[in-house]
Each structure stands twice: as C-alpha cells, then as structure tokens.
Amino acid sequence: MYVCVCAVRMSYVYVCVDCASVFLNDGIYGGLVDLRDMGLTGRVRVVCSNGQARIGKPVPRSIFGPTCDSLDRLPGALGLPEDTQSGDYVLFDGLGAYSVAMSTQFNGYGLSEIVTVR
C-alpha cells in the first residue's frame, strides 16, 4: 500500500516581528492543491536537510506558496516546530489523490519532481 506524501523543501522563511509567516517552494498551485479544500491534515513533519526531525515546541504559522497570488496560502495556521529553519523539509502526509493531478505550472511554478518514499 502506498500513501501520497508530499515533501516540500522550505525555500525561505520570512521572519516578521511575530515570526508567524513561512514561505514554501510549493503551494496551492502545486502539490498542496488539496489542502485548499481539505484543510490542513494535521499530519505534518519538519526535518532538517540531514534527515533529523525538528522537535521544537509547535508555533502557529501562516504558510504561503511561492507565487505572487494572494490565494497561494494554506488555510488556517499550521503548528511548525519553533526551530524550523530555511532549507528544512516540510512533509505533508496523505495529501490525497488529486494533489498531483491538479497541480499546474501557474506563474512558472508547480510540481517539478515526484519521489516514491517507502
């Protein structure tokens, strides 16, 4: 049995005064399209580039995709570990059947690579 897991490399963390915003290199127009309708699944992990899990206290953050479209934002806030850094990977487990089929190349962005993780 396979479950659709989307690994998104965090390309940039914009730290504002309240440290509440995170920008990913994928969003509503890419592999995270299902989250717009499903909401956040709650099955989210953050790992460093060396594969170690981030285990800091969860901090609610607004998650934005890479486009300039104001709709390229995940609904609600997502609790990411407080030690999340630029270059980490955010793993969204079990995104759903349409996460790949509905992704687009909007503004030059979209799904670029598919990797099977067992």
* 68 is an active site residue: yes
Give the whole-angstrom CA distance, residue 43 versus residue 86: 20
Give the whole-angstrom CA distance, residue 114 versus residue 42: 22
Q: Which of 6, 16, 19, 68 is catalytic?
A: 68
Alpha helices in the chain (DSSP H): 33-38, 98-101
Q: Which residues are catalytic?
A: 68
